[in-house]
Amino acid sequence: MRKIIIKAVGGLGNQLFQYAFARALSEQFGVPFELDIAAYRPELRYWPKGTLIPSYYLQHFRAKIDFATGSDMFGFVWARRHYRYFDSIYARLRLKKFFSFYYHEKTFAFDPDVFTKKPTVYFDGFWQTEKYFMNIADQIRNEIQLKMPFEIYSQEISETIFKSNSVSIHVRRTVFVSDPMISAFHGSCSLEYYKAAVEHICRNVKNPSFFLFSDDHEWVEENFKWLPGEHTVVKNGIEKNYEDMILMSQCKHHIIANSSFSWWGAWLNPRKDKIVIAPKRWFANAPKNDTKDLIPDGWIKMQ
């Protein structure tokens, strides 16, 4: 049976991009899709010693997902390492339409070629632009909702969010600050960025209430005392990040970090009048990553 297989890798925000991409291709070609979640198995030998292995989180949402098995992966095992070699041979022999092949993300920007690849295809990449799934945006938003009700703490935060002119602020730290390699590649948003974004919100939103989401609650509490009016530091742990994302999406407006996690927190908010402020520079040092299609039209970019 023809199908699409998508490699899942990274944290929750990355997983959602890969899921939405898979869903869009599945609709386009009229075939089922499966996720290859092998990257979340700690026993795999290719993980460097000491690596913090991310967790798989999509099981917490309504989305119905099938997983690729060993037999599904047959034929892609070698192609993952040598896809350029196989792709070239298949092209020369005009065998692509008969054989499964491996498609590696060519560019960080939108790649229309993916919609010309007839299944079965194994897609490997991050696919970080809404242009892949805008035609099924409502469907994606409906499927990325929690299966289970909030726990008590998150429910109380949710009620407060709905009673106010709520603005989410996402601050990403931990390894993005402490690990020199990750910090050099990704970077992090400065306090100047957040202050400029808050000033813009205060000029355009009456009596805003700020809800701060972060992986470093203590640092945020200490360094965001300057926020005007009411603000709340949401203190779910990393194990409840899926609840944080939905809480973020319930806010009326958003100030996001250079993070796919808060990108989705803002994008899942369906309001037409929402204000979303995003950092103009998404990577500290990734010149090959063309981010022109990453930030949706209508979102405000600030340095």
Q: How does 266-292 read in b/e, with b if 16+ C-beta sit within 10 Å?
A: bbbbeeeebbbbbbeebbeeeeeeebe
Q: Which of 92, 94, 93, 115 is nearest to 103 (CA)?
A: 115
Separation of alpha carbons 163 and 302, rounded Å: 28
Centre a 10 Å sphere on the Cβ of residue 138 and count the other Cβ atoms it contains. 9
| Span 129-149, pLDDT tens digits | 999 999 999 999 999 999 999
Give Cβ neighbours of residue 82 (< 8 Å, ≥ 6 apart).
none
Q: For 261-274, write each residue's pLDDT tens digit.
A: 999 999 999 999 99
What pLDDT is attached to residue 252? 98
Bond preceding residue 120 cis, omega within 30 of 0: yes
| List of residues 6+ apart from 136 with CB closer than 8 A | 23, 24, 27
Residue type, 268: L
**pLDDT surpasses 60 at 294:** yes
pLDDT of residue 54: 77
221-230 in b/e form (b: 16+ CB < 10 A) is eeebeebeee
CA distances (Å), 220 to each of 54, 202, 263, 275, in order? Answer: 23, 19, 19, 22
Identify which of 118, 121, 139, 120 has the alpha carbon closest to the alpha carbon of residue 130: 139
Average pLDDT value for residue range 275-284: 93
Per residue in 164-209, pLDDT tens? 999 999 999 876 555 666 655 677 899 999 999 999 999 999 999 9
For the chain, the average pLDDT equals 87
Q: What is the pLDDT of residue 66?
A: 94
Cα 171 from Cα 190, distance rounded (Å)? 9
DSSP classification of residue 169? E
- Dihedral pair phi/psi, residue 278, rounded to 5°: -130, 150
